[in-house]
A and B are shown apart, each in its own frame.
Chain A
Amino acid sequence: MKSLKYIWRNVMRNKLRSMLTILSIGFSLALMTILCGYIALQDVWGNEAQKYHRIVVMSTMGFSGEVPIAYVDRLRAMEGISAAVPYAWYGGMYKEQQMAFAQFGTDPNHVFNVWSEFKIDPAQLKAFQDDRQACIADRRLAERMQWKIGERIPLQGTFYTFNLDLKLVGLFDAPQNTDSLWFNWYYLDEGLRAKDEPLSGNSGTIFAKTKDANSMAVTCKAIDERFASSDHPTRTQTEAAFAQMFADMLGNLRLYIFVIGMAVVFALTLVAATAMAMSIRERTTEVAVLKAIGFSRWNVLLFVLGESCWITTLGGLMGIALGCAFLQGMHIVASQFVPVSVIDLAGVWLLLLLALAVVIGLVSGLVPAIRAAQFSVVDGLRRVI
């Protein structure tokens, strides 16, 4: 008989208590898996954005400021820039739904030079370029909204006073779900100019692609220096940094997750320690018998620690599996929120979560294990003899 077998039998001795402990650890670690998965998602986005060496030009005033459209041509003329387009967030309502999906005004003639990894049928791209009111959408967005080519898509402005009446002429495929619709920036601008809106002639941001990844930092600096003395100074950063900026708007998310995680771990440790303490207390005589027939304090210590680690590791595995299943399910049914599969998100963090479950087992089992190892055999046996 191996020790592991004995430890496993002890785990299964009180099935209800073990299952409840496993479930409490499992659900808590499932939550941790989802939170850590979100962080991993940010990293994946950051790494993905880094690959295509795009940079984002915005006003030094942030999202409340505007960048003149004339800057687009100036950027295109700069050394180190291979393409640039306006990228104006519209934020309109679709059929009474606010923020149903992302909508951006851009330049149909150059946008696929900036997002060169995106694919579109050439005929559909031409249709997008030829018609001012044309728009294209991410294929997965179109599937979600059940749009067909030729569909009229009216958007009611919330930030802009001009409403858009768009016609879907094409679908593009992106490596990850962007959940975005692109329309012609000039269509929006014409409408704004007709209303004599002060926002006309501007874009919220300009996206540009540098000729290589190494020149991104230098180019960002060069752009900001060039417009530093103008009426509209800019703040330029990489697309990865831009994405991170959104995450930072939620505060130091990683710190929050760490603090919440530690609180959960602490609570879990107490739960598991209570269960282990009860379990060992019920087996005082049995432990005394083990020691009487020759098992050492170390043997007893390892039996108890092994038992607590079994329970928490099972809980950890269950929690990680649940968390991953949730993330994968979100990827399948709502890929706009989780655009990559769990396989792409998986990393060392999953192993660290499993290690965390083992550590919870070790810490929670330590006090009962030491007590079991140290109590007197005679006192333990006195209960029956």
Chain B
Amino acid sequence: MAANQSDALVVVNNVTKEFRRDSFVIPVLLGINLQLARQDYLALMGPSGSGKSTLLNLIAGLDRPTSGEVIVCGTNLGVSSESKLARWRSQHIGFIFQLYNLIPVLTAYENVELPLTLTRLTRRQRDEHVRAALEVVGLSDRLDHYPRQLSGGQEQRVSIARAIATDPTLIVADEPTGDLDAKSGGEILELMRRLNEEFHKTIIMVTHDPNAASRAKRIVHLEKGVLVNTNATPVGATA
């Protein structure tokens, strides 16, 4: 479901991105245009080196485009300062990483609470958010477990709980099932479908896995820095 630019949550306008390595300029994204509506669930596919993660980083406010505009939640990310971007990310973006990236010295509860410490919530409110997020991912009984005491699937679920604890506008997931077995991967994909359909979260997911991509409402392909087949509808998609 492509959105009109006026009501789109994510607007990517003619974006290019180049990296410099010594005297070499490496073009990664070449004139990308993309819109994403609220409550959409987009799968971003493409071979390694096609620029998927780079595009995801731009949309998540982790990087700035070389040219063009990236407007997310009404904010032009290319012109925001580093500190403003950090604050913006804490309010609008929930991250899910391939390798979960939980803080190993913190318990599941503390990991989920971590982004909430940047908000003005009271301790009690934080506690409610953390417990609710862990309830959604089905880990209410693992509050005091450290990441090393959890399975890969459970770690990813804690990571998802951390991503949704602040009730972000947009969830970005980079290969969320890439390090999981089929069963755990399936559980994570089901969880993400629930986040989209039951909790109306907007999700962008980078994946290599066609099966994972098929759970999204929309699939776009990137090849050599260019979007191709942007209107592909996943097999078995419900929307």
Contacts and interface: CB of A to CB of B under 8 A. Distances in A.
Interface of A: 1-3, 5-6, 9-10, 12-13, 285-286, 289-298, 376-378, 381, 384-385
B101 A286 contact: yes
Interface string B55-71: 00100101100000000
A293 B63 CA distance: 13
Given A9-B105, A13-B105, A378-B62, A385 B118 contact: no
A285 B106 CA distance: 15
B82 A294 contact: no
A292 B60 contact: yes
Nearest to B115: A293
A285 B118 contact: no
B85 to A, nearest CB: 9
A378 B105 contact: no
Interface residues of B, number: 31
Contacts of A5: 110
Interface in B92-145: 93, 95, 97-99, 101, 103-106, 110, 113-115, 117-118
B162 interface: yes
Given A1-B117, A298-B83, 8 more contacts: A291-B86, A293-B95, A293-B114, A297-B86, A378-B62, A381-B62, A384-B98, A384-B101
Closest 7 CB pairs of A and B: A294-B90, A9-B105, A384-B99, A289-B101, A296-B86, A1-B110, A293-B115
Contacts of B148: none
A2 B63 CA distance: 29
A51 B91 CA distance: 67
Nearest to B102: A289
Contacts of A2: 117
Contacts of A292: 60, 62, 89, 95
Interface of B: 53, 57, 60, 62-63, 82-83, 86-87, 89-91, 93, 95, 97-99, 101, 103-106, 110, 113-115, 117-118, 162, 174-175
Contact of B106 (A9, A293, A384): A9
Contacts of B82: 296-297
Given A293-B162, A381-B97, A6 B62 contact: no
Nearest to B19: A378
Contacts of A12: 105
Contact of A6 (B53, B95, B101, B106): B106
A384 B98 CA distance: 7
A294 B118 contact: yes
A60 B189 CA distance: 96
Contact of B87 (A289, A294, A385): A294
Nearest to B58: A378
B106 A1 contact: yes
Contacts of B162: 293
Contacts of B97: 289, 381, 384-385
A360 to B, nearest CB: 24
Nearest to A289: B101
Contacts of A385: 53, 97-99, 174-175
Contacts of B83: 296-298
Contact of B105 (A6, A289, A291, A381): A6
A290 B104 CA distance: 13
Nearest to B90: A294
Given A286-B101, A289-B101, A1 B175 contact: no
Nearest to B62: A377
A24 B149 CA distance: 33
A32 B162 CA distance: 47
Nearest to A12: B105
Contacts of A10: 105
B190 to A, nearest CB: 22
A1 B115 CA distance: 10
A20 B104 CA distance: 22
B148 to A, nearest CB: 12
A342 B83 CA distance: 50
Nearest to A292: B95
28 contacts: A1-B106, A1-B113, A2-B117, A6-B106, A6-B110, A6-B114, A9-B105, A12-B105, A286-B104, A289-B103, A291-B86, A292-B62, A292-B95, A293-B90, A293-B115, A294-B86, A294-B90, A294-B115, A295-B86, A296-B86, A296-B87, A297-B82, A297-B83, A297-B86, A298-B83, A385-B53, A385-B99, A385-B175
